[in-house]
With several copies, the nearest count.
Chain A
Amino acid sequence: MDLLTAIQSNLLSPAILFFALGVFAAVSKSDLKFPESLYTTLTIYLLTAIGFKGGVAINEAGLGAVWLPALAAMGLGGLIPLWTYPVLRKLGKFSMADAGAIAAHYGSVSAVTFIAATNFLKSINQPYESYASAFLAVMESPAIIVGVMLGKGALGGGKFSLSDAGVRHALRDAVLGKGVLLLIGAMVIGALSGKRGMASVEGFFVTPFQGVLALFLLEMGMVAGKRLGDLKRVGLFLLLFGVTAPLVHGCLGVLLGGWVGLSTGGATLLGVLAASASYIAAPAAVRLSLPDANPTYSLTAALAITFPFNITVGIPLFFELAKILHA
């Protein structure tokens, strides 16, 4: 299967099509509206399921196989803001706060993009390290901390201080936020209960999983669609950044994945993680600690540009790259 076939087959998967339907619903101003609690419920389900499955995989593969690539993933996440921040400052002319905020979002990761990538690999029967959700878990926080410090000017001797109530709340959210807690918690549970545990809860965490993702992407499509109107306001530079950054970071991730010994599937996933931008953990933490950053910039770029780019074109692209690398 070449790149075009891969992209096409990806575009015709129910999950992606439901995302498109959501965008359409938002743009056409339909009265379709998800109940406010459904978004959170689906998030909890997806994070728990992906964490649990990853834990069962760790139980089987052993921690020995996981620590090196996980460390590499974590490092990559923490480093990404270090080059995106100056680019945003110099080329994008963003304020310190805005540049730090955007850098934090792009260094952190998107769980749903990751899940869409595992679905893509499954649909084409491409094996991958199922413990890869451990990378997702460890990549969420570091970039947020680095990005916030950059945005506060801490590296230039600025005013990053733990006595600031916003920073304190933000740090706690970055390290112990619901995303990390559910992912790592469910992972530990999966690792402890192993195959026998999986057998008992498979009918909930595995059987309906892909369908739930499709429903969630319908809602994500509506959320992203409502942000399309903001595209004009964020400016051309950020539009370009929203596509270039995932391309660059995705390639880096794939390379790093190959280098630390991941399979074609695993390297694809690390690429996808690096390419993805957070819209759950990062927005809340950044909003609290960098109040002067305009959330429209980071959220619109992450949700309305990078997320759709990754789930439609990015995933098959990084997969093709991983294949070439392993050939």
Chain B
Amino acid sequence: MNLHPMKLVTIICESVLEERVVELLRECGAHGHTAFDVRGSGNQGQRSADMLESGNVKINAIVKPAVSELLLQKLHDDLFKSYAMIAYETDVRVLRPQKF
């Protein structure tokens, strides 16, 4: 079996940003994403998910290394300063590299 290295980018942010982040993903070259609602706490206090307006969403995308770098840079430049959010990169291995 042949596993291929990829990057998993994870973004945890305010729910209102979901659509914008997904757009950004597409622009940077991601071919898919997965999202779900979470609750959490961080620098900007507790985010409880009882109102969409104050909830969090977690967005995952598996992408090529170059895309990951571009994506994180863009998130940093466009959104990090103003919104409650974090983003990080993990190494993963997949079977069908052409899919991502």
Q: Which A residues fall within an 8 A CB radius of B? A: 33-34, 36, 39-40, 165-166, 169, 219, 222-223, 226, 279-280, 283-284, 287-288, 291-292, 296, 299
Contacts and interface: CB of A to CB of B under 8 A. Distances in A.
Given A280-B53, A287-B14, A287-B53, A226 B20 contact: no
9 contacts: A223-B51, A226-B48, A279-B51, A284-B16, A284-B52, A288-B16, A288-B17, A288-B20, A299-B53
A291 B82 contact: yes
Contacts of B23: 165
A37 to B, nearest CB: 9
Contacts of A287: 14, 16, 53
Nearest to B46: A226
Contact of B55 (A36, A288, A291): A36
Q: Which among A36, A222, A288, A296 has the greatest number of chain B C-beta atoms within 10 A?
A: A36
Nearest to B53: A283
A223 B19 CA distance: 19
Nearest to B15: A284
B37 interface: yes
B38 to A, nearest CB: 10
Tell me whether chain A's interface is mostly helix, strand or loop, or mixed. helix
Interface in B6-51: 14, 16-17, 19-20, 23, 37, 45-46, 48-51
A165 B20 contact: yes
A36 B53 contact: no
Contacts of B45: 296
Contacts of B55: 36
B88 interface: no
Contact of B19 (A169, A283, A292): A169
A40, A279, A280, A291 interface centre (most CB from chain B within 10 Å): A291
A169 B52 contact: no
Nearest to B37: A36
Interface residues of B, number: 20
Given A39-B50, A292-B82, 19 more contacts: A36-B50, A36-B55, A165-B20, A165-B23, A169-B19, A222-B50, A223-B50, A223-B51, A226-B46, A280-B51, A284-B16, A287-B14, A287-B16, A288-B17, A288-B20, A291-B79, A296-B45, A299-B53, A299-B54
Contacts of B16: 284, 287-288
A185 B45 CA distance: 29
A150 to B, nearest CB: 18
A291 B83 contact: yes
A279 B50 contact: no
Given A169-B19, A169-B20, A219 B50 contact: yes
Nearest to A292: B82
The list of the 4 closest CB pairs from A to B, nearest first, reads A291-B82, A283-B53, A36-B49, A287-B16
A166 B78 CA distance: 11
A44 to B, nearest CB: 12
Nearest to A178: B52
Contacts of B20: 165-166, 169, 288
Nearest to B78: A165
A287 B53 CA distance: 9
Specify which of B14, B46, B79 lies most central, judged by the most chain A CB atoms within 10 Å of its CB: B14
